[in-house]
């Protein structure tokens, strides 16, 4: 992302925020941090920008934050540590920024509970689209009536307490894993296309070339299947998608 591009987009105000949200940015590169702050403020968001992980933790603890953008490589506390701290206290959406772009970062981020990740360099248009999609999903999930408890076979999911049980034993799921399991269980017996999961769970239209869904499915299987390599609940329907098998 170039400074010139961000400045032009910030001046034009291309995208409108739907409501007033407060976003926390933790990024140690001052030019990128300042330009992101300017661009998001111009789009209608309230923004708090800090330069390291410790400042991010302080800001999150003292403010009501609606979404967090975390750079992975930061001084004092890296983005993974900050994400871990946040997840112990809140399910607020978290977007991770990385210049590395490798699968290990992706897996570790989702394991800690990140909702999405963006690889540098990126455009402001891409960042804004991800933010709006996540916030739409949050508002939709808050307003949508849903069954309190769904129990299929060995797996039970409680949408009020956000608890999941397998054979009566509690299993810890990240917010993304919980939403993924809920969507599959609420459509048990149906083959759900990857693009549908991408839209309904992550909140934006399917974009080819990403393995977010595959990583999410793999992590979920590791937590609820007796043998993740031979799943009996979350099945892959080759060429079509995934299905939560009814007993």
Residue 189 has pLDDT above 70, yes or no: yes
Q: Which of 34-43, 59-68, 147-156, 227-236 has the lowest mean pLDDT?
A: 147-156
Per-residue pLDDT reduced to its tens digit, 197-218: 988 888 766 656 677 888 889 9
Tokens matching residue 28 = 């140690």
Instruction: Tell me which of 87 and 209 has the higher pLDDT.
Output: 87
Q: What is the CATH number of domain 3-142?
A: 3.40.50.2300
Model confidence at 233, pLDDT cuts 50, 70, 90, reads: very high
| Beta-carbon contacts of residue 158 (< 8 Å; ≥ 6 apart) | 148, 149, 164, 165
Q: Which residue has better confidence, 130 or 110? A: 130
Of 71, 63, 80, the residue nearest 21 (C-alpha): 63
Span 233-240, mean pLDDT?
A: 94
Does domain 145-244 correspond to CATH entry 1.10.10.10?
yes
pLDDT level of residue 24 (50, 70, 90 thresholds): very high
Indicate whether 50 pLDDT > 60. yes
- Residue 199 has a pLDDT of 84
C-alpha 244/C-alpha 150 separation (Å) is 12
Delimiting residues of CATH 1.10.10.10 domain(s) in the chain: 145-244
pLDDT the model gives residue 164: 94
Q: How many angstroms separate the CA atoms of 238 and 183, rounded?
A: 19
Q: Does the pLDDT value for residue 240 go beyond 80?
A: yes
Domain with CATH 3.40.50.2300 in the chain: 3-142
Contact 167, 177 (CB under 8 A): no
The pLDDT mean for the chain works out to: 85
């Amino acid at each position: 992302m170039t400074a010139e591009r961000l400045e032009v987009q910030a001046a034009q105000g291309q995208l409108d925020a739907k409501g007033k949200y407060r976003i926390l940015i933790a990024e140690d590169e001052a030019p990128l941090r300042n330009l992101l702050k300017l661009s998001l403020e111009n789009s209608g968001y309230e923004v708090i920008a800090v330069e390291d992980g410790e400042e991010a933790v302080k800001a999150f603890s003292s403010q009501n934050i609606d979404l967090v953008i975390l750079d992975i490589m930061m001084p004092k506390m890296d983005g993974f540590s900050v994400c871990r701290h946040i997840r112990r206290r809140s399910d607020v959406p978290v977007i991770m920024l990385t210049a590395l772009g490798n699968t290990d970062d992706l897996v570790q981020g989702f394991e800690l509970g990140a909702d999405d990740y963006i690889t540098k360099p990126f455009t402001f248009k891409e960042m804004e689209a991800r933010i709006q999609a996540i916030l739409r999903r949050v508002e939709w999930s808050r307003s949508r009536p849903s069954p309190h408890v769904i129990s299929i076979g060995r797996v039970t999911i409680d949408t009020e307490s956000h608890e999941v049980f397998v054979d009566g034993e509690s299993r810890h799921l990240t917010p993304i894993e919980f939403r993924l399991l809920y969507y599959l269980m609420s459509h048990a017996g149906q083959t759900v296309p990857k693009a549908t999961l991408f839209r309904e769970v992550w909140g934006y239209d399917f974009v080819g070339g990403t393995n977010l869904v595959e990583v999410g499915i793999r992590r979920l299987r590791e937590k609820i299947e007796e043998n993740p390599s031979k799943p009996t609940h979350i099945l892959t329907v080759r060429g079509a998608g995934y299905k939560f098998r009814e007993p």
